[in-house]
Structure 1
């Protein structure tokens, strides 16, 4: 029996979609399926090479190795994870740099009218900064995607120097998502046998001390209850964190992570899945799996970074695939929202909405050339009538 058939039977038999979070509040009996986009079909490429639905426009806000327009700041190579933060007169978009040794993160500050006010470095001298996550207190967690990688807490406005948060565990970090209800930070691990973690700080809002825990469940479970266990040695040496707890569940390359009203969604690239951890019920389920849609019809492959909106829509970026950001709606429809044709050797990274929800920022990490050093990276903004 094919993996697609086996998984479909297992998931549907488990009643996978009894979610309590925003995305699955409606009655829904299976993982997301292809369907019509709420924004309609994609139109031909615009002047910036982006395919968008009617009513949306794009602009390029930064290019790797070039000055951010209107500033004296050179934009970093290989732009990766990102997030937006409100200011008194606009907002800030922060972006990681996924390159060795100098990695770090930079920020672009926008005025209320969307014009660029300034750009600057907020973290430097770190290693392969891939994704990360925003905190409720307005800082950005920048994560190193290397063995024994670290988490750095940064200040988007540049008002303070970044600080290392090694008590959050030393492993191949990818993304982070804060759960203010349970006062924990969820963490993904980009390893083929990686784990899903949570950091439980001693004091919420202070990430200097606390416990690292790992999600535990049977190896073949895709839907059902889970538990958490403490990691004995968060430093991960000589025994890697993912190998310290025998009951830890393995995931095929953890990527993006996003928390919304009771559910933490995270992606795994090795099996093209979007998982949903129902934190209130301590239950794991599948929100999307390309093996659980009709063969040859999966619009979303190469799942990577993920973000969401107040409406409950999820936006999932592709690493490869056909270079799309797909939307997954609360009614369980998955469809392309935008596409970057001619950039097949790149990946889409860092999707994040401006505080008012009218603008979506993201990057093509390696651009049209696909240069592995990321020197052709492009950071975009899409403006338009996003669903409230």
Structure 2
């Protein structure tokens, strides 16, 4: 079996963490993903929401910034960004960050029943700044990350509870987080042109109040081996966390992050790359690089948030570009899954699957208006590979 197929065949998706999976035996690096026809066929004409989808898929608007969420009394937040889904009995909860300056930042949640109807909506984090992305934990909390130089990670409680800041996870320009239940760590990206890739090792798994912040150390190439170095001062003052460890590898604008099956993927917007870190072997490589795509034009530009399906497909959202969500399949093929028309001044954020894997949630941060007050949160339903 091809190496990445073997790695990703048992991804659990749902925007959270993954379970099980085998370890690959071949140490050779695979080539980054190349253009190919998508597994669902070509895009159809835009629907009533301006979204082009493959045949058999449909879209709906579930919330709009500044407007009451249908079926509730809650006003949806502006600038919706990173998100995740959590199982809730026979239904689920979708959480979404608000990438607004303090005190308007934070995060909200939508609760759905088994038929996908919103039953309630509510705030889970208030008063923070530029909550961009984040990540779900295995204990059903949402890590909401602040994208400012002294940004922090806030642990929030979609099922109820008061959000708590987690200073041990470092103060830097946080972007996304991904939980690894095997090694019992949280991976973290940093949105700086000379940013780093981190992991937080909690003293006790399931308790993020204390632990060790580490940074990935490697050479300057796009593949090779790596180690971890401990950040002496996670507070990042007076020396920024990314400048404290000699040999820390630099990444050009870290964005989305996703863990599955002994592998963590993350994106870097400054060079339109998707990186793959093979945790079982201590090696890293490129899963996608727009400068290495052939034949034809690279489909994915403005790489941003990333999630995975139960089948092992990666879904990468664009910040700008052609306002697309692209798919990278386990056999290293890339194609366009959907395209939003008429929203060129926006970005696609927060892709996440519901627990069953037949609904994909995401937002257009600025919608048709190009303003943070015009955000739109969508759901796409269809025959996703699971």
SS in 2 for 1:235: coil
Q: How far off is 1:200 after superposition?
A: 0.3
* Aligned ranges 1:281-300 → 2 under 5 Å: 281-294=281-294, 297-300=297-300
What does residue 376 of structure 1 align with?
Answer: 374
What does residue 7 of structure 2 align with?
Answer: 21
Equivalenced residues, count? 368
CA distance in 1, matches of 2:7, 2:353: 20
CA distance in 1, matches of 2:5, 2:249: 20
**4+ long deviations beyond 3 Å:** 17-20, 23-29
Conservation of the 8 A alpha-carbon contact between 1:19 and 1:278: no
**Measured at CA, do residues 176 and 321 of structure 1 come closer, stay the same or move farther in structure 2, by a change above 3 Å?**
same
1:320 paired to 2:320: yes
SS in 2 for 1:124: strand
CA distance in 2, matches of 1:341, 1:304: 18
Structure 1: segments with no counterpart, 5+ residues: 1-16
CA RMSD of aligned residues (A): 1.6
1:187 paired to 2:188: yes
Deviations along 1:76-112, one digit per CA (max 9) or x if unpaired, are 0000000000011300000000000020000000011
1:131 paired to 2:117: no
Q: How far off is 1:294 after superposition?
A: 2.9
CA distance in 2, matches of 1:185, 1:19: 24
* Aligned ranges 1:95-110 → 2 under 5 Å: 95-101=96-102, 102-110=104-112
CA distance in 1, matches of 2:376, 2:25: 37
Structure 2: segments with no counterpart, 5+ residues: 10-22
**Measured at CA, do residues 25 and 279 of structure 1 come closer, stay the same or move farther in structure 2, by a change above 3 Å?**
closer
Q: How far off is 1:331 after superposition?
A: 1.2
CA distance in 1, matches of 2:5, 2:115: 38
SS in 2 for 1:174: strand
TM-score with structure 2 length normalisation?
0.93
CA distance in 2, matches of 1:203, 1:104: 26
Out of 107, 115, 122, which is 2:124 matched to? 122
SS in 1 for 2:110: strand
1:140 paired to 2:142: yes
CA distance in 2, matches of 1:311, 1:274: 19
Q: How far off is 1:252 after superposition?
A: 0.2
**Measured at CA, do residues 111 and 35 of structure 1 come closer, stay the same or move farther in structure 2, by a change above 3 Å?**
same
Conservation of the 8 A alpha-carbon contact between 1:25 and 1:330: no
What does residue 336 of structure 2 align with?
Answer: 336
Conservation of the 8 A alpha-carbon contact between 2:346 and 2:366: yes
